[in-house]
Amino acid sequence: MTEPVENACSGEPETGKSTVLQLACSRLFLLGSVFVLAYAIVAVRVFDLMIVQGTGGETRQEREELDRLARGGDLIEQARRGNIYDRNGVLLATSLKTPALFADPVLILDKPAVAKSLSEIFPDLVETETLSKIDVKKSRYEWLRDNVSPAQQERVLELGEPGLAFEYDDSRIYPLGRMTAHLLGYTDRTGRGLSGVERSAQSELAGGGDVTLTIDVRLQHALRREIQQTMDEFSASAGAGMIMDVHTGDILAGVSLPDYDLNLGTALAADPEKNEGVLSNRLTLGVYEFGSVFKIFTTAALLETQDTPLSATFDARSPIRIGRFTINDYHAQKRILTVPEVFMHSSNIGSALMARAVGAQKIQGFLSDLGLMARRKFDILEVGAPLTPKPWGEASTVTVSYGHGISITALQLCAATATIVNGGLQVHPRLIHPATPVIKPQARIISEETSEKMRALMRLVVTQGTGKKADVPGYYVGGKTGTAEKSAGKKGYKTKSLLSSFIGAFPIDNPQYLVFVMIDEPQGTKQSYGYATGGWTAAPAVARIVTSMAAILGLPSDRYDPAQDISLPLERYIKPEHTEKKKLASN
């Protein structure tokens, strides 16, 4: 009889053919051991990838060390980043644990399909760029997106893709999205501030301290809404605006359009050239030739430095020629004008003659005292430096008088105008509310008498001049229009590319608030008779903003008495309008 096979494999004494069978069993045992060892190696490797190394090529300890170095401190001891609030305690920025999406390219088989699916879930992810990230052959970790919402996370999970996963960490969240984009700023993935207050207050926020801004989000919303509406109405390319307390310098609202959702700031900053249009801060960083609003400063310089009476006259009957340049009036009166008439009709010729009367040296000194000749210090770091004439010749004195040949920021324009209307005291604009009251000395730039005259002149612009559409019955608005052709460099100016603006204050007899609106490249409409000047575009926007402010802040309207209008005493210096047609061309 043949011995059972199991006897040969059990170590029983060999009989018959058991030797052959035992040899076979030994080979089976060896083969099985090899398989067990192989499975053990695979299990250890999986454990290493999933637990020890996480999702990157380095160990988890190494990744944490890299993160610690990137953040500039110990992850364990690092304080949670502080919150940012508006002046009324409305939350503008905070840090929360949120999922971030990453990919393990090695585990993704159909990479084009995954890239396409992710672009559908996240509209801000460009399909081709995502594909290039996940097509890396050796990488085990490719970050794709921060701040994934619960709905987006669910859609990713539904893809059933093992190469997509999430990790949780503190992410910066901006509840109001784009509402305060260019002033508030954003952080990078490590929590380091990259722009705005997030950047300038990095030390305090990174240490866990909270920051309160001077912004009132109610006014911010109203300002943004009206500027966007004006841009849409006149097919403009961009816009900006500001609301300021003329005494404290507090920025109550500040807008630069187009803007962006701060929750996507990190992603947009990764391609600054592509996203330059929305990332550009037109409020504090961009510099512009503002045109006729500059006549506020020319006229104030004349009254302050020359003690010129309002009855003084300037011959605006003929253009002024300086070398190859000719200065004309946009809507010429072609007559001799008094100081109020030069201002209300926005005469370039009259303003040029005023600047000549003051002189180049005094004009430069006056503009410097107003903070218009050098970069202004502010609570964010993105602040532009003015472009001033170098060298400053006779032509510069003339062109600067009506806002050409000199480029400044909107921040500078607003602070200087606030100084002119608040009684003549220097204004220090601020965006961050100090934890403890800080009183900065306010130098006197002009006399109270000159400030009073300028307020009357600015009111005259609204009652009888180029800014009639800024008037709000009961709220006593004063201001100045501005329309400037945009510079084309050495080629001169683009006659069909305008920068239209209006800067106003109210109540103008004792100003509290300054409101500024700038519209970039507006196009005339049928309703505006083809005009796209400041009087037709920015002035009406300011009127709507003032109306909204009155409702939001509960400002009474019954204090205004038309019989006591501060512009009335100036009427003795004004001749009647020649034709109704000339009123249309408000600039």
CA 426 to chain centre: 25
DSSP for 340-372, please give it.
HHHHHTT-HHHHHHHHHHH-HHHHHHHHHHTT-
Instruction: Spot the catalytic one: 171, 195, 280, 292.
Output: 292
What are 242's two structure tokens? 């500001």
Beta bridge partners of 483: 500
User: In the annotation, is 132 catalytic?
Assistant: no
Task: Please give the single-letter amino acid code of residue 209.
Answer: G
Between helix 360-369 and helix 348-358 the angle, nearest 10°, is 100
Is the preceding peptide bond at 473 cis, omega within 30 degrees of 0? no
Q: Quote the DSSP letter at residue 52.
A: I
Is the preceding peptide bond at 175 cis, omega within 30 degrees of 0? no
DSSP for 499-510, please give it.
EEEEEEEESTTS
Q: Which of 148, 203, 170 is nearest to 93 (CA)?
A: 170
Cα–Cα distance between 260 and 7 in angstroms, integer?
Answer: 81
Residue pair 74/68 in contact (Cβ under 8 Å)? The answer is: yes
Beta bridge partners of 319: none
Cα–Cα distance between 432 and 301 in angstroms, integer?
Answer: 31
Q: Quote the DSSP letter at residue 295.
A: H
Active site (catalytic) residues: 292
